[in-house]
């Protein structure tokens, strides 16, 4: 005896078919109207399954695009963080070098500052500011994003950035950069 052939998309059936029939007692189709209704139900169920599959594919595609955007953003942020780290390190070293020079000059004259002095000359004065250059691919990083992370950042006006550092030998040391 064969199994009942009631459509699986409508729930299927595991019962055994009647003699010389393809359906069990519960799923016998006795009239043409019932055959039409069953066929319509199968068609609707198949269309719903196709629509659900399409919706799922669209959701997966949307999630994939969203993840790609997040990955690109994370990569860009990592690249920017690396640019900021490298430039911060380089620029801090340049500023620290001028600070050390001024500290050395202050052993001779406690009023010495960055720039031209009676006892020597250094970079970092308002007439000869340190040039802070963005080198290599910057990935959209600006001077401001880097400068704000360097210790002693004091102000910015007319394209000149100022750093104020404490001196062990007198007044604060003001270093100009552009």
Q: Which SS3 state, helix, strand or coil, does residue 120 take?
A: strand
pLDDT in tens, 90-122: 999 999 999 999 998 888 888 888 888 778 888
The pLDDT value given to residue 1: 67
CA distance 108 to 125: 18
The pLDDT value given to residue 23: 80
Residues of the chain whose pLDDT is less than 50?
Answer: none
CA distance 39 to 54: 23
The pLDDT value given to residue 158: 64
pTM of the model: 0.66
Q: What is the DSSP string of 58-119?
A: HHHHHHHHHHHHHHHHHHHHHHHHHHHHHHHHHHHHHHHHHHHHHHHHTTT-TT--SSEETT
């Amino acid at each position: 005896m064969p199994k009942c052939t009631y459509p699986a998309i409508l729930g299927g059936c595991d019962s055994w078919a009647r003699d010389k029939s393809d359906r069990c007692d519960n799923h016998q189709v006795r009239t043409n109207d019932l055959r039409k209704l069953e066929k319509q139900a199968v068609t609707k169920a198949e269309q719903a399954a196709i629509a659900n599959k399409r919706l799922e594919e669209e959701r997966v595609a949307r999630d994939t695009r969203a993840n790609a955007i997040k990955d690109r953003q994370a990569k860009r942020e990592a690249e920017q963080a690396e640019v900021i780290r490298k430039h911060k390190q380089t620029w801090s070293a340049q500023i620290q070098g001028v600070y050390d020079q001024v500290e050395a000059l202050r052993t001779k004259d406690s009023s010495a500052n960055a720039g031209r002095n009676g006892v020597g000359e250094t970079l970092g004065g308002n007439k000869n500011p340190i040039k802070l250059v963005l080198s290599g691919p910057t990935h959209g990083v600006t001077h401001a994003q880097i400068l704000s992370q360097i210790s002693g950042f004091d102000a910015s006006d007319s394209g000149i950035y100022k750093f104020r550092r404490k001196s062990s030998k007198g007044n604060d040391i003001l270093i100009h950069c552009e």
